[in-house]
Amino acid sequence: MVLSCISDYIHALIIYNNRGTFKAKLTLISSIIINLSLLGFFKYSDFIISILNNTLNTNIPLLQITLPIGISFYTFQTMSYTIDVYRNDAPIQKSIISLATFVTLFPQLVAGPIVRYSDICKDLNNRTHNIDKVYEGIYRFIIGLSKKIILANNLGFIWTSIKTTPFSSLSNLTAWLGIICFTLQIYFDFSGYSDMAIGLGKIFGFDFLDNFNFPYVSKSITEFWRRWHISLGVWFKDYVYVPLGGNRCKKSRWFFNIFVVWFLTGLWHGASFNFILWGLYFGFILVLEKLFLLKVLDNIPKLLRHLYVLFLVIVSFVIFDIPNFKDIFNYLNAMFNINNSFVDKHFYYYLVPNILLLILSMIASTPIIKNVLDKNIYIRSIVLIFGFTISCAFLVDSSFNPFLYFRF
């Protein structure tokens, strides 16, 4: 992190002092290479070695390097700084302490949102502090804490239990219940972290942009990705998709640009082929929507459009969370094979004691609860006290359960 910070500080100064020259362009390329090399070495070395061993039948030992915490996030943040300085989209930061503050800002360091320097450059030295902002920060933090501890962790216990069961023995409904639990878990886990980061930021006077906007109410996959992990989507759009030409080119080149972005989006999530497949899966769907599906969706009822999105997203998370292709196929087979038993006692075993958790999670994944809390301060106060108390009780009583996006 220190090396990355110093490197981009120096590179940005050279770019600023040589703006508009070939030297500035070379300096930008140097900065990007250094950043991606650091990320690639720590995150993808063993992945590349494994591919070489399998392809060339070699036996190169794996390095088994520990992944520096938050490297995927702060690498993208420091890269955005030098790129924005080169584009003249962000002012130069001549204080390395201020730039290091941006890079090491702990609330969002570990799992996002990906904060760009241009978004908070004014806040670094001229923050606004007041009691209302502190209150909003505490409110947002407790909401995120409750999402993680009360909802995500308990949904995760169900998914872990079902995922560790032999897939061939799962009934259709048990398999669906398991992956629905994970679909809800990853949303509350990741959006919960983002809420906590945004809340802490407000307490310290920083205004981080929202990272989630109720993605499960989307009516198309295009809309879903405008609502899910917003900071990552905007980063890839501004620094990969648009520079490649975006949609202002031939249709074949446009689709190529989409697949490049989604290949990289999948790869960003982890050094595994299932993440690449997951990215390309969404890239393929987005291309189909741009070709004709969006027009078709516009002419069908909203409920069916929501179901279309939920179906594709739920299937995608099978690919996302199961690393082995054979196991992915076996789990999908458990979900869709009509020759499987449709329901079994295990389904009721997981469903009955957790029915209230599932109903609450489904409601909380929509704007309903947020709208109620925004309109009624008394209900908000009760929910905050209750949520904080229950979260603390769960924390005291349970084992360590890290955020899912720590590993990315």
List of residues 6+ apart from 178 with CB closer than 8 A: 158, 159, 162, 163, 170, 350
What is the predicted pLDDT for the residue at 165? 92
3-state secondary structure of 114: coil
Note if 269 is an active site residue. yes
Instruction: Report the pLDDT value the prediction gives residue 402, as an integer from 0 to 100.
Output: 66
The CA-atom distances, in angstroms, between 275 and each of 7, 73, 250, 257, 316 are 30, 17, 28, 18, 10
pLDDT of 125: 80
What CA–CA distances, in Å, run from 225 to 137, 199, 228, 233, 265?
Answer: 26, 23, 5, 7, 12
Give buried/exposed letters for 223-256 (b at 16+ CB in 10 A, else e): bbbebbbbbbbbbbebbebeeeeeeeeeeeebbe
Residue 395 has a pLDDT of 85
Nearest 5°: phi and psi at 116? -90, 145
pLDDT score of 55: 87
Of the candidates 127, 303, 125, 131, which has an alpha carbon nearest to the alpha carbon of residue 204?
Answer: 127
Domain boundaries, the chain: 2-104, 131-407
CB neighbour list of residue 125: distance below 8 Å, 6 or more residues apart: 98
CA distance 262 to 332: 22
pTM tops 0.85:
yes
User: How high is the pLDDT of residue 271?
Assistant: 86
Q: What is the pLDDT of residue 181?
A: 97
> What pLDDT score was predicted for residue 212?
93
Using the structure block, give the residue that is written with the tokens 């599906």.
293
- pLDDT for 15: 94
| pLDDT given for residue 406 in this prediction | 58
Give residue 370's pLDDT: 92
pLDDT digits (tens, 9 = 90+) for 260-296: 999 999 999 888 999 999 999 999 999 999 999 999 9
Please report the pLDDT score of residue 399 as a whole number: 66
- Of 11, 129, 229, 269, the active-site residue reads 269
What are the 10-residue block averages of pLDDT along the chain, 408 residues in total? Answer: 92 92 94 93 91 88 86 88 91 90 81 81 83 93 94 94 92 96 95 93 90 95 94 92 88 92 92 94 95 92 95 97 94 91 92 95 95 91 93 80 62
Residue type, 175: A
